A and B are shown apart, each in its own frame.
Chain A
Amino acid sequence: MSSAALSLRTASRARLPILGGVALVVFLAGFLLPGYLEGGYLQSMLNNGFITGILALCVAFVMHQCGLVLFGIATYYGLAAYACAILVNSFGFSAMAAAALALLITLAAAFLVGAIVIRVKPLAFMMICLSLAELMRHLVALPSLRKTTGGSDGLLFMPEGRVFGIEAMDLLDPARIWPLIWSATWVIGAAFLIVVSSHFGVRLRAIKENEERMRFSGFNTYWPRVFAFAGVGLAAGVAGVIQALASGFASPEMFSIITSTNALLAAITGGVSSVVGPVMGGVLYTWAISEFGAMGYSQLFTGIAVILVILFIPRGLLHPLRLLLRKGGRA
């Protein structure tokens, strides 16, 4: 539970060094994991779990800081993956350059989308984000773009060069991509924590509580949320680029409603007010879906999970635990 509290100031000052120490140990220990898992099935499931976990972190951030349900995170995840694959295939970029430019493209796209969707009401926001993911799914599957996007079969690509010192071809090995996934999760989690405890985060939450009051108090209520949206899109893009590098493949399924739903479910199950919860949720769902998927019930499972989670644990699994720890502290 090293960094369970999304708001740093709720943890007392005295506990911070201890929490930091535990976090550092866990972070370093994570790199040793592939040695124990010896690659194979468990490692790749954990990899996928953390990728879903990053997406869930994004959803949780938007929900907790802006009070909006981001039901189309798959848009930025898939966009970054496709951008990376297309840059390598059609423009001959090296792996690192393609990844960096793909992230820039995703950031720009998320910024543009954010500038439009932040203006609408929460329910419409949710529906538009979902439709945009569908738009992308149709767009990449267009037959006339087949040469560039690979059509409905998806796009295979062979990146060259190094990514953070690792040969791009080696990243296809689940054990070799793990350090990248593990560090990315930590960087994104830490970035969200910093934003949350900053002045910017306070402003975001104040807008969430009462947008009108903030506007009357002379604050700009539009741009902070657009920036937050763009940042979250970028984080989802990181997950997309890593997934693309890990599989050498970008598929239209990355944009599917099911991708977005699983991220949302993982976020809600883990609890949107923490950074550990959504990641754990991501791992949990990836495991459960692969179990049920083996029987051919993965979508049915997703549907039932949505109903049960929202009905019974809308605040996440960790919530009752945290209440217990704080002895009825701030809910």
Chain B
Amino acid sequence: MIPTLILNALAVSSLYIMMASGLALIFGLRRVMNFGHGAIYMVGAYLGYTIASGMNFWSALILVPLIMSVFGVLLELLVLRPLEKRQQIEVALITFGIGIVIAQIVIRIYGGTPLSVSAPPLLASSVKIFGADYPVYRLFITVIGLCSVVALAVWLNATRTGMFVRAVSHAPDVSSMMGINANRLSLLISTLSTAFAGLAGVLVGPYLSIDPGMDVAMIITCMIVVVIGGTGSIWGAIFAALIFGFVQTFGTVYLHEISVLIPYLMLIAILVWRPQGLNFGGSAE
């Protein structure tokens, strides 16, 4: 029971990590919380459904993040860059409005009924882990999640571009004086962020279901994760996503229906203790 739960928690956390780290990255560079992130994840999920049923799951897994990265380019060029001078909360509200519009368009196209995607044949089986059958697909999500975190960590810490990203997040003025082009970095980060959201969307299809409320549910989760982690702190967000996944998974089993309240109570408890969030490794603000 417990090992299965731990694996489940890791699978859910992986999705949250992909979403929350994308949010934290954009926030680090632009100081803007992208409230439309949930809608982008929703588009990823529905596009994944279309491509998976038209072609196959593997092409969806590759194509959707590519298509969603175009959303990232649009987000940067049409929203973040022109509104650079506006207050961060105003831009956040605009992304919120864009999120509602995108979600409504998706609902218009696909209708309001939940859809489901079947896992590809290669991953549809289950394996024995600690004496219990466990679906391979969930392990696959965890592996992809882990790989993306490791890739992100390597990129941020070992490459020149990664160093620039950290520099701009840490001190935007100084880094621009040093000749770092924040606009170009931001384009890259937005693309990466929406591509990750798209990937999470495709991955969620065969695991949970695809439904019209998924964007709001995800953005609320992401907000809690980002606030607990300390706004703009990427490692804080990743760690908080991990905690969130575990609390949610174990809560559902041991506390039953009360579990929907746990994330919020956790948020309040952590804020009473530390108003700035967990905040590891310094935040953007």
Q: Interface of A with B (CB < 8 Å)?
A: 69, 116-117, 119-124, 126-128, 130-132, 134-135, 138-139, 142-144, 257, 261, 264, 297, 299-300, 302-307, 310-311, 314
Interface residue? B234 (CB, 8 A):
no
CB distance from B259 to the nearest CB of A (A): 10
Interface residue? B246 (CB, 8 A):
no
Closest to B223 in A: A127
Asked if residues B33 and A127 are in contact (CB atoms below 8 Å), the reply is: yes
Give CA–CA (A128, B231) in the complex, Å.
12
CB distance from A300 to the nearest CB of B (A): 4
21 contacts between A and B (CB under 8 A): A116-B268, A119-B275, A120-B227, A121-B231, A124-B227, A127-B224, A130-B220, A131-B264, A134-B216, A134-B220, A138-B261, A142-B260, A144-B257, A261-B96, A261-B100, A299-B100, A300-B101, A300-B104, A303-B101, A303-B104, A310-B93
Our pick among A123, A131, A143, A310 for the contact of B257 (Cβ within 8 Å) is A143
Asked if residues B227 and A306 are in contact (CB atoms below 8 Å), the reply is: no
Other A-B pairs, 15, CB within 8 Å; known A127-B227, A128-B271, A138-B261:
A120-B227, A128-B267, A130-B220, A131-B264, A135-B264, A144-B257, A261-B100, A303-B98, A304-B97, A306-B96, A307-B94, A307-B98, A307-B101, A310-B90, A310-B93
Give CA–CA (A38, B13) in the complex, Å.
57
| B residues in contact with A134, CB < 8 Å | 216, 220, 264
B78-103 interface bits toward A, Cβ cutoff 8 Å, 1 = contact, 0 = none: 00000000101110111011111101
Give CA–CA (A299, B216) in the complex, Å.
13
| B residues in contact with A305, CB < 8 Å | 97
| B residues in contact with A142, CB < 8 Å | 257-258, 260
| B residues in contact with A144, CB < 8 Å | 257
Indicate the member of A130, A132, A143, A297 with the most B CB atoms within 10 Å: A130
CB distance from A73 to the nearest CB of B (A): 14
CB distance from B41 to the nearest CB of A (A): 16
Indicate the member of A119, A307, A314 with the most B CB atoms within 10 Å: A307
| B residues in contact with A124, CB < 8 Å | 227, 231, 271, 277
Give CA–CA (A294, B89) in the complex, Å.
31
CB distance from A32 to the nearest CB of B (A): 38
| A residues in contact with B216, CB < 8 Å | 134, 257
Using C-beta atoms within 8 Å of the partner chain, give the interface range for chain B.
Answer: 35 or more
| A residues in contact with B243, CB < 8 Å | none
Interface residue? B133 (CB, 8 A):
no
CB distance from A248 to the nearest CB of B (A): 27
Asked if residues B271 and A299 are in contact (CB atoms below 8 Å), the reply is: no
Interface residue? B158 (CB, 8 A):
no
Secondary structure of the A contact surface, majority rule: helix
Closest to B257 in A: A142
Asked if residues B100 and A126 are in contact (CB atoms below 8 Å), the reply is: no
Given A124-B227, A130-B220, the answer on whether A299 and B94 have CB atoms closer than 8 Å is no
Give CA–CA (A306, B93) in the complex, Å.
7
Asked if residues A303 and B224 are in contact (CB atoms below 8 Å), the reply is: no
Give CA–CA (A132, B265) in the complex, Å.
9
Closest to B268 in A: A116
Give CA–CA (A116, B272) in the complex, Å.
6
Interface residue? B285 (CB, 8 A):
yes
Interface residue? B117 (CB, 8 A):
no
Asked if residues B94 and A131 are in contact (CB atoms below 8 Å), the reply is: no
Give CA–CA (A143, B97) in the complex, Å.
32
Give CA–CA (A230, B204) in the complex, Å.
40
| A residues in contact with B189, CB < 8 Å | none
Interface residue? B226 (CB, 8 A):
yes
Asked if residues B261 and A135 are in contact (CB atoms below 8 Å), the reply is: yes
| B residues in contact with A304, CB < 8 Å | 97, 101
